[in-house]
Structure 1
Amino acid sequence: MREDNKKIEQFINNIMSEAGLEQPSLDFTANVLSQIEVTSTSNATVYKPLISKSVWILILGSFIALIGYVIIGNTETTASWIDRLELPKVSLNLFENVSSHLSSTLMYAFVLLALMVSIQVPLVKYYFKNRITF
Structure 2
Amino acid sequence: MEEQYKDIKRLVKEVGTEHPSVDFLKNVMSEIKIASVNKSITYQPLISKKTWLVMGILIIGLLISLPFFSEEASILDKVDFSFLNGFKSPFAGFKLHSATTYGIIFLAVLFMVQITVLKRRIDKMYSM
| TM bin (shorter chain) | 0.5 to 0.7
Instruction: Determine whether 1:127 maps to 2:121.
Output: yes
Taking the aligned partners of 2:87 and 2:122, their CA distance within structure 1 comes to 57
SS across alignment from 2:94: coil
Identity over aligned pairs, percent: 21
CA, structure 1 residues 63+38, in 2 after alignment: closer, same or farther (shift >3 Å)?
same
Q: Which structure would you say has the larger RCO, counting Cα contacts within 8 Å and 6 or more residues apart?
A: 1
**Which digits, 9 at most, give the CA deviation of each residue in 1:70-128, with x for residues without a partner?**
35x36588671x3356x3477xx9xx9xx632111211111110121122134235435
Deviation of the 1:21 alpha carbon: 5.0
User: 1:8-27 CA distances to partner (integer Å, 9 max, x unpaired)?
Assistant: x69x83xx47xx753543x6
Match of 2:112 in 1: 118
Offset, 1:55: 0.3
Deviation digits for residues 27-81 of structure 1 (CA, Å, limit 9, x no counterpart): 643542342122122247644322211000110111112222235x36588671x
Aligned to 1:100: 94
Give unpaired runs (5+ residues) of structure 2.
Answer: 1-6, 69-73
Q: CA–CA distance in 1 between the matches of 2:26 and 2:78? A: 84
* Whole-angstrom distance in 2 between the partners of 1:89 and 1:21: 91
- Structure 1 unaligned regions, length at least 5: 1-5
Following the alignment from structure 1 to structure 2, what is the Cα–Cα distance between the partners of residues 79 and 23?
Answer: 85
Name the CA distance, whole Å, in 2 between partners of 1:111 and 1:117: 10
SS in 1 for 2:38: coil
What is the CA RMSD across the aligned residues, in angstroms? 4.3
Structure 1 or 2, whichever has the larger Rg, is 1
